[in-house]
Amino acid sequence: MVKQYNYKDLAEFYELVETDNEHKKATNVFLEKIFKKYKVKSVADITCGTGAQAIYFSKKGYKVYASDFSKDMLDIARKIAKKQKVNLNFKQGDMRNYKFPKADCVISMYNAIGHLSEEDFIKTLKNINSQLKIGKLYIFDIFNTDFMKQNPVNSFIDAAKEYDNKFFVRFNEDKFNFKKEIINFKEKIYIQEGISQYKMIPHEWDMKVYTIDRLKQLLQQTGFEPIEIYGEPNKKFNKLKSPSIHIVARKIK
């Protein structure tokens, strides 16, 4: 794996700071459109985090199997599911080797594969392939290297939110290693409740990003073919203009 995101310290605030409601809605609408098109009835969310997709699709009547590497994120997911009266069994597992129940489709959203080195992503693809039947789907997304090279961003504020008398501001300072195609993220999250003294949570992690051409090669190498490619959810992919790549891949061997 590459240098990891600090989910332990941030799990409590992840849903507020990390998951934008509009983006979450767009992602779920996108996935549901694909599920209906390919007659998906069961879904294995192998990077479920706090349950943004797993809980939504469980409520929609899909058979959902939810797992994640982070125990702290799963604890939050269970609390959210309980609050929404969703009966969902969350399991801890590493997507590189986790054995999920048979499903029509596997998903790993919100740049989850970026936490893996390319070698570990290949292991993950092979693991997923070994458990899917021919014709079944794997859907994932990741930042687009070609866009990042054209649009480098260094320092910015990307989140400023208020919830339940708590205020959250996140400041980013990023560096892109063009040779290794890895983004180094340095963040400071400021949290203040009411007018009390704020606290700041700093952390640093790396994310592997890909070009569409490299993703196609890796999918072909591990027995998949990309059958639909998007930029942002539900938007046509443009190699130089799309910040992200969303891929619907099908197992062919």
| Shared-domain flag, residues 176 and 74 | no
pLDDT at 154: 79
- HSE on the CB side for 175, CA within 13 Å? 7
- Asked if residue 57 is part of any domain, the answer here is yes
15 and 115 inside one domain: yes
Task: Annotate the chain with DSSP letters as a single string.
Answer: --SPP-HHHHHHHHHHHT--HHHHHHHHHHHHHHHHHTT--EEEETT-TTTTTHHHHHHTT-EEEEEES-HHHHHHHHHHHHHTT----EEE--TTT--PPP-SEEEE-SSGGGGS-HHHHHHHHHHHHHHSPTT-EEEEEEEBHHHHHHS---EEEEEEEEETTEEEEEEEEEEEETTTTEEEEEEEEEEEETTSPPEEEEEEEEEE-B-HHHHHHHHHHTTEEEEEEESSTTSB--TTT-SEEEEEEEE--
Same domain, 26 and 71: yes
Same domain, 12 and 119: yes
What is residue 15's predicted lDDT score, i.e. its pLDDT?
55
Query: Both 119 and 181 in a single domain?
Result: no
- Is residue 153 located within the same domain as residue 113? no
Asked if the structure places residue 2 within a domain, the reply is: no
Q: Are residues 93 and 167 in the same domain?
A: no
Residue 32: C-alpha distances to residues 24, 28, 81, 138, 229 (Å): 12, 6, 19, 14, 15
What domain count does the chain have? 2
Q: Is residue 237 part of a domain?
A: yes
14 against 191, higher pLDDT? 191
19 or 213, which is more confident: 213
What pLDDT score was predicted for residue 19?
A: 53
Are 132 and 32 contained in the same domain? yes
**CA of 118: how far to CAs of 122, 132, 220, in Å?**
6, 21, 14
Q: Domain limits at 181? A: 148-208
Residues 19-34: tens digit of each pLDDT: 557 888 999 999 999 9
**Mean pLDDT calculated for residue range 218-226:** 98
Together in a domain, 171 and 74: no
Q: Which CATH number do you get for residue 192?
A: 2.20.25.110
Note whether 18 and 42 are same-domain residues. yes
Split at pLDDT 50, 70, 90, the class of 86 is very high
Is the confidence at residue 109, as pLDDT, over 80?
A: yes
Both 31 and 45 in one domain: the answer is: yes
CATH number at residue 18: 3.40.50.150
Average pLDDT estimate for 99-111 = 96
Longest dimension (CA), the chain: 59
Assess contact for 120 and 96: CB atoms under 8 A: yes
**Domain-located, residue 199:** yes
Residue 171 sits in the same domain as residue 218? no
